[in-house]
Amino acid sequence: MTATRRLGLLIALAIFILDQLVKWIMTGPLDLLTVGTIELLPIFRFHFVPNYGVSMGFLTAGSETMRWALVALTAAIGTGVLVWLWRERNRFDVAALGLVLGGAAGNILDRVRFGYVVDFLDLHFGDFRPFLVFNVADAAITIGVLILLGRALLARQANEPAENVNA
C-alpha cells in the first residue's frame, strides 16, 4: 500500500472514529436525546435532530424499505469514493476523499444502527441558520467535497489556454 493511500485511509478512519465518539458523547453522557438542547454560545448549541433523509433532509426515509435503500445508496457512493481514493495519486485529493469516506461511513453506521443519522450541531444567528443541524461526518463530507471542487476548478483554469487579445 502506498503512503498516499495510507494517508487517505487513516484520515477516513480518524473521521469515522471522531464522528462516532462525539455522537456517543452527545447521546450517552450528555443525554442529548432526553435533554434536547444544550446552549453553548448565543450562536451555537447542541440540538438533537434525528435525520431520516440524506443531505439536508432530502430523500426522507418514510419506511424500512426506504431506510435500507438509503443505506444501499450511500454504501454504493462510499464504495465509489473508496475506489477513487485507491486510484488517486494526488495527496490533496486523497486527503479530501478520506474526509468524504470517513464521514459517509459514520453516517451509514448511524442509519444501520438507529434508522436515522444523529445530527446535533446547530449554528444560528437569531432565526437565521446558514446550515441545517449537522454532525462531524457532515462537516467532513462538506469540507472534502469543497476541497475536491476547488482543486478541480483551479486545475481547469490552469489548463485553459490564455485568451488571445490580439485575435
81: burial class by Cβ within 10 Å (0-12, 13-18, 19+)? buried
| Catalytic residue IDs | 119, 138
Nearest to 96 by CA among 46, 154, 29: 154
Q: Which helix (DSSP H) or strand (DSSP E) does residue 138 occupy?
A: helix 136-159
For residue 123, how many other CB atoms are within 10 A of its CB? 15
Q: Are 103 and 140 in contact (CB under 8 A)?
A: yes
User: Could you give the strand order of the β-sheet that contains 37-41, starting from the edge strand earlier in sequence?
Assistant: 37-41, 44-51, 117-123
